[in-house]
Structure 1
Amino acid sequence: MLNNYPLLAKVESPSDLRKLPRQQLKPLADELRAYVLDCVSKTGGHLGSNLGTVELTVALHYVFNTPEDRLVWDVGHQTYPHKVLTGRRDRMLSLRQRGGISGFPRRDESEYDTFGTGHSSTSISAAHGMAMAAKLKGESRKAVAIIGDGAMTAGMAFEALNNAGIPHGGLMGDLLVILNDNDMSISPPVGALNKYLARLMSGNFYTAAREGAKSVLKNTPLYEFARRFEEHTKGMVGPGTIFEEFGFNYVGPVDGHDLESLIPLLENLRSRPGPQFLHVVTKKGQGYKLAEADPVKYHAASGKFDPAVGFVKAATPPKPTFTQVFGEWLCDMAEQDAKLVGITPAMREGSGMVEFHQRFPTRYYDVGIAEQHSVTFAAGLACEGLKPVVAIYSTFLQRAYDQMIHDVALQNLPVLFALDRAGLVGADGATHAGNYDIAFTRCIPNMAVLTPADEAECRTALTTGYQHTGPATVRYPRGAGVGAEMTKPLTAWPWGKGEMRRHSARPQTHGRGTPRIAVLAFGPLLYPALKAAEALDASVANMRFVKPLDLELVVELARTHDALVTVEDSCIMGGAGSAVTEALSAQGLTLPVLQLGLPDEYVEHGDPVKLMSLCGLDAAGIEKSIRERFLSAPLLRSVANE
């Protein structure tokens, strides 16, 4: 494979890169871009963002003494070129596969991955911490945060800027923040004048002149005039005033694909102490015409594709995903109820809200990568009689937990949380897995928690949660379900009620024979549970609600069976199974309960079907766990329940 990439074949690490003559860096960047495209076409993964950071990655590793100088990549979905240059070139075909390299930075994967990322807007905080640690330890090194313009919409990024631009105990960290602006949403087109002024403002002459003028004019009436003139002048060529006010020296905007400008600019900034801010403009999908033309579509590849052809639709239409089911439900409910408003924290496409945005533009709110704001904003809308639906990934709701408790649940406001990507998410791995939402939502007073088993139930669960007079969450997984047929009418479940899906023909034994077992399934694992139950002749309940739990059904199953098994695609600790055992304890019922769910560990990236099997949550795994627990040894049951 490397025969087509002669320069890249020579680069085993950034130290090899730094040995190359500068005139070879552009051809190297071209090879690197082609190599990343080649690899992603075979593995799937993030594409457009990685193609856009090729030159920036080359320049950073060429100028900075990595890994001694720290690079922190925000989100981390743009680090494939970084991985190639830092010793993982030959492992790129294992990207996002079990046992292979991650699609995001990981500290345990490489010393060049200085901070693990996956969620947005953490880079400046982390790099600031690293820069201050270097000062406290007396070490001379730089910390660089590379953050995208989307990630700059999050409050955490500005909290970090606010903290990093001031001295702490007289010390200032040597921090460089690079804003990778890949949407042209902030700056005007970059030209020769901008390039020249940016380089000038980063150089030693400008710095010395600026600081010298400050010292001369400081106690004169001209000082304030000079300060305002400088701000006004810099504001004419770039949007730097706000960053200057935070205490950073702003430089830019500059063309992030122009190595001849980037490298001397970074060299100048590397020699400068204190907080620096560099604004670079890049093009998402750079160098691949299909991705340049449609950066949203080519943000990520779900699987293999031919680079010469691009993404093509499958010959057979796939089953609708849970996300698509939500998007259709949102439009249908909005037609019926004018009070419905839809909110997303920067995930319009990912959450299935494109059609809703097109059809109901005045009722659609994309608040940017601001999960905390999205929840409190919804609370404010609910206070005024509207019915907010917050479409958010399970893993991202973690970032708005306080707002969920304090601003929504405490006031018992009717906000519906549509939690996409619940459970394992496959190739995106542990940073994006929605393993914990049952545990962290069911403990909140006033909060209802619904777990539909398939696409049809998802539509009904959303209607049920929406019609509830308080806050509710409806969780559903990534991808398609079993292909359940959906009805058009918007119907709701009886509140807090599950259903029996299978009745065991085996009699209750009271501990003196083969036990009669009931499986309580929460969510999509109903279907493997039914398959396992056929082999075991077990009863199966589709619980539908974690909270309020169908206590009547739980008690009935406990009284008519010798053992219970709970099954959920979420963490066992504090999950739905825990809710069942708590309910049994409160009723004074004691019988064996086997809780099956995701283990108390971070599950690695890989094929989701294989991962569920490894966690023992496919039909064979559920059957095996039940046999080992209840059918291979005498069953212990409390005589208090005889």
Structure 2
Amino acid sequence: MEVQAGELLSKINYPSDLRALDEKQLEEVCKELRAYIIDVVSVNGGHFAASLGVVELTVALHYVLNTPYDKLVWDVGHQAYGHKILTGRRGIFHTNRLYHGISGFPKRSESEFDTFGVGHSSTSISAALGMAVASHYKGEDDRQHVAVIGDGSMTGGMAFEALNHAGIENSNLLVILNDNCMSIDPNVGALKEYLTDISTSKSYNRFRDDVSAVLMKISELGPNAHEIVKKIEKGIKGTLLKRSNFFEALKFRYFGPVDGHDIHHLVKVLEDLKHIPGPKLLHCVTLKGKGYALAEKDQTKWHAPGLFDKITGEIKKVVSEKPQPPKYQDVFGHTIVELAEQNDKIMGITPAMPSGCSLNIMMKAMPNRAFDVGIAEQHAVTFSAGLATQGLIPFCNIYSSFMQRGYDQVIHDAAIQKLPVVFCLDRAGIAGADGPTHHGAYDIAFFRCIPNMIVSAPMNEEELRNLMYTAQLKNHGGPFSIRYPRGKGVMVDWQRPFKEIEVGKGRKVSDGEDIAILTIGHIGNEAVKAIIDLNAEGYHPAHYDMRFAKPLDQALLSDIFKKFDKIITVEDGCILGGFGSAVVEFAADEIYKGQICRLGIPDLVVEHGEQHELWAECGYDSKAIIEQVKAMTVARVTKGMVG
């Protein structure tokens, strides 16, 4: 639903319109922009609190910079809604994250103002540095390059790597640290404490303000003034903070902390920084959810609340008279606590997603056995491997798409050493409105090729519980991965007694004739729905829930190939190298002949939309399965029906 913008905002189609305004009007622009974000997200959904926290910073940046000539790179993109609205997309912003609508993240193909596609954190400094070096190489030294990175993203290893490189390049780069002590959940680690020390040091901030006028006087002393100012500034920071500034140790000029909600001061500071050469870091203290009281008080809840009443703050949920199945993430969260109560060797690990993966349940119940390690997937994997060397059983929960960042560590630190790390891959398969940066398309393929790795996927909540139970019973000779999707399962009565599942064993869901449907994971429920409709039309396919892509149930597959010469495989993952490929490889190795059709995510980038919309687009929802069965078989005549 399109929302009406305020009087000033309605006249701003591009940053050039913003820059035509008097600076005195910027406060009103910020007010209208914040109100517009609240209005749109409340009725259309999307990320919320992060963009509210950077309204003033967004306006100041586009007011001072000559975008898109000057390059502005946002980290992750949760904070970039104001940027999108000011850069030509206000009229279509109501389509944000909807099927065939605009992306919820900056995207290069969508706008020239989106200088870099983002979705995973901690990439902005590297990308902006690359742009700055390229500009210098091309003789465009007047071009500004700005990376806006949240303090949560600063915990990612890539950010440190980029800072280390940028410090020696002397490129025209400004890093803006949006310091709100939050990513999705509260930030953790020593860096958070360090930033808190700087931003809350009363003596430093008071003295810094007192000497600013003196430094301005010094700047009038002549050609050596710049060096004098730098030395005095460094001395103040080193003495009052009782430590050298971390960023200046990496050869960045450090400025701040400044109030990230003072639009006029931000404009002044950004104008000044444009004329200071070399790598610079501006430390802005902001409040996530700024301007919406409920979001300010509970920033995690309001990171992406869904639809809500902007007046009362009531978050709108679909209420059903019938009991509903739980989300897979909550099944994980409650099950790991149950298992940990029985097995004192179990530990839980997540890279900055405790509420997203529901490890927060264990963190509350057993705080000394559950760890949020920050946005650091590589570290999460190797930390888990270290725990495993000492006889503990780490359950390392990482979203499937984020697992890509820890791939080397999975191979080198877990699989080669045959360490029993249990990888629980949340958001596996099509992730929905977050789009291509978040779809968990590749984990079956990239895990299946790793020696000593078990690759499994439950079809329902009970299987998820039993796979988790099985994984911790003994050392299976290496890491054990369990993938499951975003969203709800299919069982209301899911908290059943644990049962061990024999590794590499599938099960027959329903018997049939002519054709066999082989599925792995939750998408098997689409096959169940398809078979109900097919049976009504006189088709009777068999259905097998294979559970494991590695090791395959070779005995079951042999029986299937002996009985059926037509087989359909279905997976919520990439077709190339995935579960279907494993079945084809088995058939080739065992010299089984037959027609095999693989359904899954095709070899292309899948955009954003609801899961069911994208399953249909990719051709493996229940309707697509029905069509494929009909295309490969001739219906049998049943009582009273002709197929």
Fold match by TM threshold 0.5: yes
Task: Using the TM superposition, name which of 189-198 and 386-395 deviates more.
Answer: 189-198
Correspondences of 1:516-535 after superposition (within 5 Å): 516-534=514-532, 535=534
**SS at the partner of 2:519?**
strand
Task: Using the TM superposition, name which of 540-549 and 195-204 deviates more.
Answer: 195-204
What letter matches 1:474 in structure 2? I
**SS at the partner of 1:309?**
coil
**Aligned-pair CA distance for 1:492:** 1.5
| TM, length-normalised to structure 2 | 0.90
**Aligned-pair CA distance for 1:449:** 0.6
1:118 and 2:124 aligned? no
1:246 and 2:250 aligned? yes
Aligned CA distance change for structure 1 residues 208 and 626 (closer, same or farther; 3 Å): farther
1:339–1:385 CA contact under 8 A, matched in 2: yes
1:393 and 2:393 aligned? no
2:341 to 329, 335, 340: 335
Correspondences of 1:230-241 after superposition (within 5 Å): 230-231=234-235, 233-234=237-238, 236=240, 241=245
Aligned CA distance change for structure 1 residues 561 and 439 (closer, same or farther; 3 Å): same
**SS at the partner of 1:121?**
coil
Correspondences of 1:444-593 after superposition (within 5 Å): 444-469=450-475, 470-504=478-512, 506=513, 516-534=514-532, 535=534, 536-593=539-596
Aligned CA distance change for structure 1 residues 239 and 559 (closer, same or farther; 3 Å): farther
1:212 and 2:224 aligned? yes
Gaps of 5+ in 2: 183-191, 636-643
Name the structure 1 match of 2:205: 194
Q: Structure 2: how far apart are the matches of 1:107 and 1:147?
A: 18
What do residues 417-472 of structure 1 show as CA deviations (whole Å, max 9, x unaligned)? Answer: 01000001111111111010000001000000111001111111111223351211
1:238–1:253 CA contact under 8 A, matched in 2: no
2:325–2:492 CA contact under 8 A, matched in 1: no
1:275 and 2:279 aligned? yes
1:573–1:600 CA contact under 8 A, matched in 2: yes
Q: Structure 1: how far apart are the matches of 2:237 and 2:378?
A: 36
**Aligned-pair CA distance for 1:306:** 3.9
**SS at the partner of 2:472?**
helix
Q: May I ask how many residue pairs the two structures share in their alignment?
A: 610
Aligned CA distance change for structure 1 residues 325 and 216 (closer, same or farther; 3 Å): closer
**SS at the partner of 1:568?**
strand
Name the structure 2 match of 1:181: 179
**SS at the partner of 2:58?**
helix
**Aligned-pair CA distance for 1:583:** 1.0
Task: Using the TM superposition, name which of 317-326 and 301-310 deviates more.
Answer: 301-310
1:423–1:435 CA contact under 8 A, matched in 2: yes
What do residues 289-309 of structure 1 show as CA deviations (whole Å, max 9, x unaligned)? Answer: 010011111011233544433
What letter matches 1:177 in structure 2? V
Aligned CA distance change for structure 1 residues 628 and 2 (closer, same or farther; 3 Å): closer
Aligned CA distance change for structure 1 residues 378 and 216 (closer, same or farther; 3 Å): closer
Correspondences of 1:352-367 after superposition (within 5 Å): 352-367=358-373
2:618 to 615, 620, 624: 615
Name the structure 2 match of 1:382: 388
Q: Structure 2: how far apart are the matches of 1:395 and 1:614?
A: 20
1:194–1:254 CA contact under 8 A, matched in 2: no
Q: Which runs of 4+ in 1 moved over 6 A?
A: 190-193, 201-211, 213-217, 237-240
Correspondences of 1:592-631 after superposition (within 5 Å): 592-631=595-634
Q: Structure 2: how far apart are the matches of 1:202 and 1:488?
A: 71
Aligned CA distance change for structure 1 residues 244 and 627 (closer, same or farther; 3 Å): same
| TM, length-normalised to structure 1 | 0.90
Q: Structure 1: how far apart are the matches of 2:562 and 2:527?
A: 21
What letter matches 2:164 in structure 1? N
What do residues 535-570 of structure 1 show as CA deviations (whole Å, max 9, x unaligned)? Answer: 131111110111110011111100111211111000
Q: Structure 2: how far apart are the matches of 1:206 and 1:284?
A: 37
2:42–2:307 CA contact under 8 A, matched in 1: yes
Aligned CA distance change for structure 1 residues 189 and 542 (closer, same or farther; 3 Å): same
Q: Structure 2: how far apart are the matches of 1:592 and 1:87?
A: 50
Q: Structure 2: how far apart are the matches of 1:183 and 1:239?
A: 21
2:306–2:315 CA contact under 8 A, matched in 1: no
What do residues 259-312 of structure 1 show as CA deviations (whole Å, max 9, x unaligned)? Answer: 121111000001111111100000000010010011111011233544433325
Aligned CA distance change for structure 1 residues 462 and 373 (closer, same or farther; 3 Å): same
**Aligned-pair CA distance for 1:488:** 3.5
**SS at the partner of 2:598?**
strand
**Aligned-pair CA distance for 1:618:** 1.5
Q: Structure 2: how far apart are the matches of 1:629 and 1:141?
A: 59
Name the structure 1 match of 2:269: 265
**Aligned-pair CA distance for 1:44:** 0.8
What letter matches 2:43 in structure 1? K
What letter matches 1:606 in structure 2? G
**Aligned-pair CA distance for 1:490:** 2.3
**Aligned-pair CA distance for 1:236:** 2.5
Aligned CA distance change for structure 1 residues 54 and 493 (closer, same or farther; 3 Å): same
Task: Using the TM superposition, name which of 578-587 and 299-308 deviates more.
Answer: 299-308
Q: Structure 1: how far apart are the matches of 2:6 and 2:577?
A: 51
Gaps of 5+ in 1: 218-225, 507-515, 633-642
Aligned CA distance change for structure 1 residues 351 and 41 (closer, same or farther; 3 Å): same
Aligned CA distance change for structure 1 residues 468 and 542 (closer, same or farther; 3 Å): farther
Name the structure 2 match of 1:223: none
1:418 to 420, 424, 431: 424
Task: Using the TM superposition, name which of 272-281 and 609-618 deviates more.
Answer: 609-618
1:450–1:465 CA contact under 8 A, matched in 2: no
What letter matches 1:399 in structure 2? R
What letter matches 2:51 in structure 1? N
2:3–2:94 CA contact under 8 A, matched in 1: no
**Aligned-pair CA distance for 1:240:** 7.2
